[in-house]
Structure 1
Amino acid sequence: MTITQSSTSPSVHDLVREITAQSKLPLETAVPLPTRTYWDHDFYELELENIFRKDWVCIARCEEVPDPGSYLAVDLANEPLIVVRGDDKKVRVFSRICRHRYEDLLGGQRDPQERRSGCVERFECPYHAWTYRLDGSLLNAPDMWSRPSFDAEAFGLRQINTHVWQGFVFVNLDEQTPFPFDMSGIERVQGNYDFTDWRLAANIAWGDSTANWKIMVENFSEAYHHIGAHMSSAQEMWPLGSVEIGDERGGEWFYSRMHVAAAAAVDEVDGHLIQPTWLPSQKGLSPYERSQGLLVLKFPTFMLLPAPDVTFWFRATPTGPETHHLDIALMVPKSNLAAPDFDRLITEAVDFFRPIQAEDASVNEKIQSTAKSQYSSGGVLHVHEQPLWQLQKYLASRLPASSTAY
């Protein structure tokens, strides 16, 4: 379907003003995002500039760079980055752009979403052999010392604002970091969960999807579709009627608790039905915490599904107005890495999850395919779609309602 924007079509900032107005509605009368936000190129560019270049975005786990010299190449908002563990064992993130004439230190990537990794003693630009230490400082710039004014200390790799939270590596591309890094609310609701000592056990490389990133985030966060898309899968384990919407109603984060169905429970302890597991639960979890799967979303794209023994971490990266790239990592407590029959049990966990994700991906792409229809408007939200309303609050808080740039 091809739509030609007419002179009466709303501008990108008209869309922002519409979202802002919608975000102020009470939840009971909330409505979905304007579908134009799922495909408008100017709106997408506004998001890149004001969200993915100015807010905190999770790009890696510390264990992905386990040793000094370990690195991981990541692209975010068209910026080539590299996550590095230094000789001092500290994890840093740098721009991959050489300070000389802007070559990618890793020679560029055919696929920007390819997460290349390795281990080196230093980084050498393939163009003119400028060489950088693991802390980003310039080690060698061939013959540049013949230039009297050359100051090597001024030409280290540009370091990206980085914050490590329980093993997750967050970055902010804005040097002024206009938004504070705050996970205190999530720490409150996650209770005894602590992901510092969890480790990656499997990766589901879902790949590219023809759906806007917001469609994916909205689908991830609401459980209303358990009674439709997941009627024969997630609904049997976590029925909609047992999903507890969190008490957070702001525009920064969302959570819900998906309590296990009585028919699926494996035990009852202190009045709490216990959710089945593949591996031993994280030590220290209460019977209440073992009765549920937790869903955590920190806008824009930090998404976790913690369960007592495994956690699924969603890594969604916008790649265009109508596309995103998705990797899903399965994490386990470090102590479970030595569990008997570990590989088989992890395979079972992935096999349980994969068809649920396939159902979600199919729905997401179908929503994208109808987003340009003249009839894709006038919808309403169910109370279980509260996170969609909160996403609107987030967008309204980050996107400018006027600019000379658009």
Structure 2
Amino acid sequence: MNVHSPVDPVAELAANVALPFEQARAMPKSVYTSQAFLDAELERVFAKEWYCVGRASSLKEAGDYIAFELAGQPLMVIRGKDGTIRCQSNVCLHRMSVLLEGRGNARLITCPYHGWTYEADGHLRGAPAMKANEGFCKEHYRLPQVRCEVWLGWIMVSLNPGATAVATHFADVEELIRPYDMTNYTEWFNEHFVWNTNWKILAENFMESYHLPVCHAGTIGGLSKLDEMVCPPSPPHFNWHTILKDPAFRIACAHPSNHRMEGDLRRTTFLLALYPSLLITLTPGYFWYLSLHPRSVGQVDVTFGGGMSNDFLADADAPELFRTLKDLLDKVNVEDKGCTERVYRGLCSDMAAPGHLSHLERPNYDFATYLSRMTRTGG
């Protein structure tokens, strides 16, 4: 496959979204297969916007950390002794080794190369055999700090010092889901995997429920009623659509003790796509999410997490309810993996061409419009 498109993918996408939604087609192949477009995304999207690392509830103790990469920068989020969650460079200030890997707990951050040690707040604590260097001063060393905010329980980071505060940037999201009280949900699992598809294919797969009856015929497809899906035009920073759950699916509906919700809202699921790549399924009883980051043109790093509303915590059968749910989500993931990897293989074909969008794919059009704006202007 030739990943270097002969056309300008940014211009192709701009032309694509210039048409009104009623005439819209899927995004051009070049935005999925072009290295130039991926470079533009990393520079103008992922390096500028807010990126979700996970839930704050998963970093319970001082020293709990998550190491990750954002737009080519090795970073970590870590809970300090003072309880604050910080984001900082994950690169030693000596010979520039990466410090931490994966997830874990590190009361002290020790470089695996020469043993320089840092406090959780990034200050250098110790450096062996450095007394003979007259220019060395331990107090002059601190790991570079990165914007980090906890919003509705989500750990959000940005490489952009001028990024608008998360609570302001996503104020309309917060208002939309206010009755759900996202701070009242606790993460029960967090996993990481890599799929062989472009990150936008997986994002778009989440943004529309048009595929549910077919792609998920073996799991949730039979429960998905296309005529009950609501897919409105979206604001600039996110998109959403809703579906209704069967009242018999108890864990997906509001707990009897939940007096924040009334009527159909008690069984309404919101599917939220917070640009660029935080994808949240939010029900009154549970949530699950994907946070995506491109690894290459044809691979995506996926953080997959989820949990329950704290309203259910006192129920004796809550653990069993969640085990059953997690088993279902794992099966759905297998189906999504197959669908999204097939889409990537298909759009790499010389004979592939983007077709017209269904009215149920309005979120995909709005996402394409966002990507076009960002890759052309960076904001």
TM-score by length of 1: 0.85
In the alignment, is residue 265 of structure 1 matched against residue 247 of structure 2? Answer: yes
One of 132, 155, 161 as aligned partner of 1:169: 155
Distance 1:16 1:139 in 2: 47
Partner of 1:270: none
Partner of 1:224: 210
Distance 1:84 1:212 in 2: 29
Partner of 1:57: 51
One of 236, 244, 269 as aligned partner of 2:222: 236
One of 284, 304, 318 as aligned partner of 1:342: 318
For residues 221-240 of structure 1, the C-alpha deviation after alignment (integer angstroms, 9 at most, x for no partner) is: 11221343234543432311
160 and 5 in structure 1: CA distance in 2 versus 1, 3 angstrom threshold: closer
Partner of 1:33: 27
3-state SS, counterpart of residue 160 of structure 1: strand
Task: Give unpaired runs (5+ residues) of structure 1.
Answer: 110-114, 267-274
For 1:14-25, list aligned pairs within 5 A.
Answer: 14-25=8-19
Query: Residue 209 of structure 2 aligns to which amino acid in structure 1?
Result: A
Task: Give unpaired runs (5+ residues) of structure 2.
Answer: none
3-state SS, counterpart of residue 363 of structure 1: helix
Conserved 8 A contact 1:280-1:336: no
Conserved 8 A contact 1:252-1:299: yes
Residue 137 of structure 1: CA displacement?
Answer: 1.2
| Residues matched between the structures, number | 374
For 1:264-343, list aligned pairs within 5 A.
Answer: 264-266=246-248, 276-277=250-251, 281=255, 283=258, 284-343=260-319
Partner of 2:349: 373
Distance 2:265 2:280 in 1: 15
More deviation in 331-340 or 291-300? 331-340
3-state SS, counterpart of residue 296 of structure 1: strand
Conserved 8 A contact 2:3-2:33: no
One of 163, 171, 177 as aligned partner of 1:184: 171
In the alignment, is residue 78 of structure 1 matched against residue 72 of structure 2? Answer: yes
More deviation in 69-78 or 192-201? 69-78
3-state SS, counterpart of residue 392 of structure 1: helix
Conserved 8 A contact 1:65-1:83: no
Residue 304 of structure 1: CA displacement?
Answer: 0.6
Distance 1:88 1:228 in 2: 50
208 and 121 in structure 1: CA distance in 2 versus 1, 3 angstrom threshold: closer
In the alignment, is residue 253 of structure 1 matched against residue 227 of structure 2? Answer: no
Distance 1:4 1:165 in 2: 37
Residue 78 of structure 1: CA displacement?
Answer: 3.2
Distance 2:192 2:145 in 1: 30
Distance 1:362 1:4 in 2: 22
Residue 251 of structure 1: CA displacement?
Answer: 3.4
One of 330, 334, 339 as aligned partner of 1:363: 339
Conserved 8 A contact 1:200-1:331: yes
For 1:84-95, list aligned pairs within 5 A.
Answer: 84-95=78-89
